[in-house]
Amino acid sequence: MVWKKVAEKDAVVPGKGREFVIDGKKIAIFNQNGFHALDSVCVHQDGSLAPGKLDGDIVECPLHFWHYNIKTGELLDYIKGVKLQTYKIEVKKDGIYLDV
Ligand code: FES
């Protein structure tokens, strides 16, 4: 477990997501009822989930509208048992930290 500062505290505005490349991995951080982090690459055709529309804990991939739970990484459409990796996230005084 390695906590790493990935962004300034205000880098992700409420109700939105943003993609960061951390150690070569594309990770989406969402500021929606708290902060959540998960792999940002959709398993369908590699769309980025970060700019996806949010509805509660659900993000919609902007390309073809597949849905994922941003807390668990679970894909909610079409294929059972698919989960994107999620990461522990902590917002400290000096920024946003991920356990990567
Ligand atoms: S790339 Fe995400 S739904 Fe197609």
Q: How confident is the model at residue 62 (pLDDT cuts 50, 70, 90)?
A: very high
Nearest one of 8, 72, 79, 4 to 38, comparing CA atoms:
72
Six token digits for residue 4: 């790493």
* Ligand 1 atom 3 nearest Cα: 64
Which of helix, strand or coil describes residue 9?
Answer: coil
Kindly state the percentage of the chain with pLDDT values over 90.
98
User: How does the average pLDDT of the chain come out, rounded?
Assistant: 97
Residue range 70-81, pLDDT digits in tens: 999 999 999 999
Q: Tell me if 37 CB under 6 Å of ligand 1.
A: no
Residue 24 confidence (pLDDT):
95
Q: Which amino acid is at 28?
A: A
Residue 4 confidence (pLDDT):
96
Q: Domains of the chain, with CATH numbers? A: 3-99 (2.102.10.10)
- Would you say residue 5 has pLDDT above 90? yes
* Cβ atoms of residues 55 and 61 within 8 Å: no
Residue 75 half-sphere exposure toward CB, CA atoms < 13 A:
17
Task: Choose which residue among 45, 60, 68, 75 to substitute to test ligand 1 binding: the one with the highest number of ligand atoms within 8 A of its C-beta.
Answer: 45
- Would you say residue 1 has pLDDT above 90? no
Tell me the CA–centroid distance for residue 41 and ligand 1, in Å.
Answer: 9
Residue 80 half-sphere exposure toward CB, CA atoms < 13 A:
0
